[in-house]
Structure 1
């Protein structure tokens, strides 16, 4: 039976360490991916949060355009596109839709729909599109989607999402591990 998969983009489809070199270069830091223990990246720079927000707005398009894929994602999504609907739901701002579409085409990634909501609150979009499962890297998003939509959420393990997770949020370390869990879930819920 065809399912709708809700999939975050940044840190899930793209490599979660994408922004680290940009921060190191622009702020004179020497951060490593494992140093990023919080989702809020502004805690790593010694400038006001508003100034960091401006830096992000000035650089987000460049960073998104150059974001590398996370390992294994293309093969898994190519297999799933044939039997499921892939709905990418991202906190990116709506004005980045054309850039995002172009990035998907350049990366040769399959998709059925891309929704940029401009907010980290993805619950309404998950409900609107009636997704059956969600793939996420942000801890509080994963928990909220799981609890409010009553669907399983695959949480890709990162240094910044180490808080405990409730039943229904499944922590994985790779797309192949996610695929194995999803394959089992699909068989159990056929």
Structure 2
């Protein structure tokens, strides 16, 4: 059986989805938690003008990414998966942040086959190019479009900002332990079918 290729988003998936919160609270004099962010678009979620929000994010982006903690359980699962699968981290981060991103992965001891920063939320082309068999995402419309275009399962990490309905090929998980369980069952069923 060929080695499966996993497409994995970074922010809000490998990193804890709360990574932005301390920066938002400090820089905008707010006192919010992740539960207060009901939309993926921060300007909409926080009622801050889009241009101001984008300028803030452009300035703070390197600091936010560098200080982002790993999502709970991500490291253990990813280290196990690296032994048996190919891991392609495909992110909307912009390409000038590649060096910082690779260094962050090194400091966290996360191994990978490739990190691709595409500078856009449209990950379909990169997922196709790398022939990924499954994708891991936190952005609702990305998860849906990747599944619908590529006909692959997409595991959507549950957050307050991605609660719109999903088709059956997008599977909600609350954490990396659930993702690992789902993948094990999926791999087992694929192996059974091929026998």
Per the TM superposition, whether the score is higher than 0.5 is: yes
Q: Which residue of 1 aligns with 2:90?
A: 89
Q: Which residue of 1 aligns with 2:107?
A: 106
TM-score (norm 2): 0.95
Return 5+ residue gaps in structure 2 as ranges. none
Q: Which residue of 1 aligns with 2:67?
A: 66
Q: Which residue of 2 aligns with 1:32?
A: 33
Maintained 8 Å contact 1:27/1:45: no
Aligned length: 190
Query: Structure 2 CA distance, aligned partners of 1:63 and 1:93?
Result: 14
Maintained 8 Å contact 2:157/2:172: yes
Written as runs of structure 1 = structure 2, the 5 A alignment for 1:1-190 is: 1=1, 2-190=3-191
Shift of 1:52: 1.1
Query: Structure 2 CA distance, aligned partners of 1:131 and 1:98?
Result: 23
User: Structure 1 segments of 4 or more deviating over 3 A?
Assistant: 44-47
Matched position secondary structure for 1:87: strand
Maintained 8 Å contact 2:154/2:171: yes
Query: Structure 1 CA distance, aligned partners of 2:136 and 2:97?
Result: 21
Deviates more, 1:45-54 or 1:13-22: 45-54
Shift of 1:167: 1.1
Query: Structure 2 CA distance, aligned partners of 1:136 and 1:24?
Result: 25
Shift of 1:45: 4.1
User: Cα distance 1:112–1:43, how it changes in 2: closer, same or farther (>3 A)?
Assistant: same
Shift of 1:47: 4.0
Could you give the per-residue CA deviations for residues 138-170 of structure 1, whole angstroms, max 9, x where no partner exists? 000000000000100000000000001001100
Maintained 8 Å contact 2:16/2:68: yes
Matched position secondary structure for 2:179: helix
Matched position secondary structure for 1:134: strand
Query: Structure 1 CA distance, aligned partners of 2:45 and 2:9?
Result: 24
Shift of 1:43: 2.2
Return 5+ residue gaps in structure 1 as ranges. none
Query: Structure 2 CA distance, aligned partners of 1:124 and 1:135?
Result: 15
Shift of 1:65: 0.4
Maintained 8 Å contact 2:37/2:46: no
Report the aligned-residue RMSD: 0.9
User: Cα distance 1:57–1:166, how it changes in 2: closer, same or farther (>3 A)?
Assistant: same
